[in-house]
Structures are given as structure tokens and as C-alpha cells.
Amino acid sequence: MDYALELKDIRKVFPGVVANDGISLSVRKGEVFAIVGENGAGKTTLMNIIYGLYTPDAGEVKIFNKEIKHNTPKKAIEMGVGMVHQHFMLIPKFTVTENIVLGNEFVKNGILFDKEKSKAEVKKISEMYGLNVDPGELVGNLPVGIQQRVEILKVLFRGAEILILDEPTAVLTPQETKELFVTINALKAKGKTVIFISHKLKEVLEISDRITVLKGGKVMGTKNKEDTSESDLARLMVGRDVIFELPKVEANPKEIILEVSNLVIFNDKGIPSVKNVSFKLRSGEILGIAGVEGNGQKELVEAITGLRPIKSGKVKIRGKEIEKFNPWIFRNAGIAHIPEDRRVMGLVLPFTVSYNLFLGRQNENIFSNKGFLNLKGISQFADQKIEEFDIRPRDRNLTVDSLSGGNQQKVVVAREVSYDPDVLVASQPTRGLDVGATEFVQKKLIEQRDEGKAVLLISLELEEIMNVSDRIAVLYNGEIVGELNAKEATEEELGLLMLGVKDMRKEVAK
């Protein structure tokens, strides 16, 4: 068998954590090979070893039948390995061409950057692989899906034969994901080998040829995609059966808790991004806001959590209008917020788990006494929430940046739910989470509904919106173009509304 990559007994240990524990696998030339596992299973560590960012404590790495010792990124690139990281490594103020050729620039007269030759080469490669990108456009002006194309072109420009895509769909919309899969199939058709790192099982089964499952740093099995299923892979990943369609009782909505009327909100460029949006949210129900990213969701969430002022319109909580847009005012009015970016907005990464769990409540008697922190109260509260929300490792003194993404999100959810809010605003609450953590978070949202809370769910994942919500409102170009009962909604109808092809307001008018 002709292999592009072979790993044998790879072991990597960090202080207190065995990230890779005797991992062996082989990747064939010209295949799409997926590696799946929960957050913290060792996927990214393994890829960083292949790419030369980490040195294994033991084991052997072979690239195209040649053993690589003392690997570095430079050596890996020379051997034909390219890596597209989950968080893009691009310079927003540079053009597409400048980002792609950075470090390998074409020059003329010995010292001058040959801009035209560089642009021509970028255009040639992009056309060869169907990755149409404007070479002269500033990267900062491009949507996320196109920025990812630039990252792929960067590694192809350097001659990559093996492309490692680390969680490539984590920040993409469903439409952008489909475009990425077209690209992957084009790369495969050109003889490239693609290593696809993910925890989204449906996508893995769609795009890959073979799948290896990691758990706790070990290989749990390798499957041909035609010989396995979502449930089989999930069982290997999590160690138990995972419920893909969450059971929930019929909603019993009661009084109106949150009322938004004719809301107009400007984005950071001073352009209206939310236009005359109105909706009502009752206790005991989940209202899902669906839409392609960039259609006003971010600004809407920021407005109804006090992070962004409104241009016009009204926000009422329990019939009382909020006049000052300040997070403390909204918090005190009964709104809790799970932000879309847990690392930037939801957590203080250098702080411990216990400190992150009581943030915002430091003036309450349980956590402070005459201006001094009550360390005993904080510790007891943290231990209780760590147990209740299954936060791992079960050590309140760990800094939160040492936790996996799923456990970081559990810290955020635990803190926001502990406020006992009237309204829980959950923005992309399962973004970047594995199937086990996703199931856990979604169950918590439904539990909040069943306890009589009003839950506003904003998600790019249609499957999540349909499974968790009771009602679904679709946001397109800053406007709500339709509202459906979740039981009656179909992916096709929601997709047409999300793309602006269908507008239920016009149908009602007719």
C-alpha cells in the first residue's frame, strides 16, 4: 500500500495530561482521511506533531515513506505537508496575494517585490483548484469562507501534497461548508491527500473515505465510511450512546417576558444591520433565530443583552421598557447571556474555573463579606457547579484556558444558568463542541425552558434550531422574513427563507 503518512506509537505528554497515548495510523495517498474525537481527545496535538510544531516524546512519523526526526514546520513544508488551522493565520491589512506569498515572495531586480508576477501565480493556482479569489482584495474585507480559501491557497502555493484541515467547518455556514467540500473533492481529484479533523459526524461521513476515532489520546478504531454510521462513531467517541434527536415535552408558554418592537440597530460601520425587528418571547418556550451568519444576529444579541445601543425601537422585559443599554441593567432585569465566543466574551482565560463560575456575582453575600472575597463560599459554589455540570477535570483551581472547548462552554453555561434568569440568551451555544458536549448543552437549554424560563437561541446550525426550538424566526438581511412552528418546519423551507428566496411576509400580504 502506498502511504502519504504513517504514524507509529506516537506519545505526547503535557504536565498532568497524556495528550497522545501510543497512536498508530496510516493515511493513503489521494484519500480524505478523517480524525474525529471529543474536545481534548488529542486530535490537534497529533496534527501539531505531524506539522512539526510539537516534538513527540516517543514514536515514529513517516511522510511518503521517509522517517522524519526532529521535525519542524519548515521541514514538514519541504516534505509536502500544509496545515490550515482552525483559527486562521492571516493578516487582515494585507491583500490575498500578499498573504499567500508571504515568506516566499517573488522579487525583481534582486530586491523589489514583484507584485504582478505574484498576483499571476496566485490566480493560476486558484483557477487550477477552482478556488476563485480576487488576488488584490484585502483579506480583512473577505467573508470567513473566502478567508479559508486563502489559507488553503497558502499551503498549495508552498507545494503541499498533504493538507491538514483542523476543524475546517467550525466557523462556516452550511452554504460555506458545501463550498469547502467541493474544494476538498477537487483537491482529491488532483491527487492531494486531505486529513480532515472534526467532531461533526454527519460532515465526516459525507466527505471522508476513512475515519479514525480518538478518545483520551488513544485510537478507538478506524472505519471505512460505508461500514459505519453517526451512532457508531459517537459511541466510540463518547463511550456511550448519544441522542441525536433530543426528547422534549410539548412547550407550555405563559406570560410574555421579552418583547422587542421595531428594533433598528447599526453595525460598527454605521450601517443598519437590524431593521424593524419585532418579536415576543414567553416563559416556558424556546424561540430559535435562524439565518446565515452576518444577517444581523450579532447586533441583535448585543442589543438585547445591553452591549450595543439601539437606533430606534423598544426592548421590554416583563412589560417594562429598558431605556439605558448597559449589560448590568439588562443583567439586573433578568437576562443571562451565553455569548457566541466563549474565549473572548464568555471567560477570563487566565482566571481559575472557580473565579469564572462566579464572575458578575462578586457583590453577593455568598461570595463576599464587607468588600473581601469569601473564598470558602466561592469554593463550595464552584465544587457544586463542577459536579452538576460535569466540568472536567474536576479541579476548581485549574485556569480555564487549560480546559477543552467543551468544558470551557460548560463553565459559561453553569455560570449563566446559576443567575436564575427570566431570559436566557444563548448565542451559538454549541459552536465548536463535540457530540457529547453538544447534547449536554442542548439538554440544559430545554431544562431551562421546562423550569419556566424564556430561552432565545441563536444558531447557525439548522439541525440544532429545529431540534431545540419551539418556534423559529428566520433573520435575513436584518429583517425577520418568516416565523414557523418548529414541528412543522423543514430544512428546505428554512433554507429558502435564510437565502432570501422566500419571504413569508409577502405571502401573508397576498
The domains of the chain, with CATH numbers, are 3-238 (3.40.50.300), 246-334+423-510 (3.40.50.300), 345-420 (no CATH)
Task: Tell me if 456 sits within 8 A of 283, measured CB to CB.
Answer: no
Task: Tell me if 156 sits within 8 A of 165, measured CB to CB.
Answer: no
Nearest to 86 by CA among 171, 177, 179: 171
The sheet that has 66-67: what strands, in order across it?
17-28, 3-14, 58-63, 66-67
Q: Cα(188)–Cα(194) distance, rounded to whole angstroms?
A: 7
Tens digit of each residue's pLDDT, the chain (510 residues): 789 999 999 999 988 789 999 999 999 999 999 999 877 788 989 999 999 999 999 999 999 999 998 889 999 999 999 999 877 889 999 999 999 999 888 888 777 888 889 999 999 998 888 888 889 999 988 877 888 899 999 999 999 999 999 888 876 766 678 889 999 999 999 999 999 998 788 889 999 999 999 988 999 999 999 999 988 998 888 777 666 667 788 999 999 999 999 999 999 889 999 999 999 999 999 999 998 878 899 999 999 999 999 999 999 999 999 999 999 999 999 999 999 989 889 999 999 999 999 998 988 889 998 889 999 999 999 999 999 998 988 999 999 998 878 889 999 999 999 999 999 999 999 887 777 788 899 999 999 999 999 999 999 888 899 999 999 999 999 999 999 999 999 888 888 898 788 888 776 655
Task: Tell me if 498 sits within 8 A of 474, measured CB to CB.
Answer: yes
What confidence score (pLDDT) does residue 107 get? 81
What SS3 state is found at 36? strand
- Per-residue model confidence as pLDDT tens digits over 273-295: 999 999 999 999 999 999 887 88
Share the mean pLDDT of the chain: 90
Q: What is the 3-state secondary structure (H, E, C) of 356-406?
A: HHHCCCCCCCCCEECCEECHHHHHHHHHHHHHHCCCCCCCCCCEHHHCCHH
- Per-residue model confidence as pLDDT tens digits over 406-460: 889 999 999 999 999 999 999 999 887 777 788 899 999 999 999 999 999 999 8
Task: Tell me if 393 sits within 8 A of 424, measured CB to CB.
Answer: no
Task: Tell me if 161 sits within 8 A of 80, measured CB to CB.
Answer: yes
pTM: 0.72
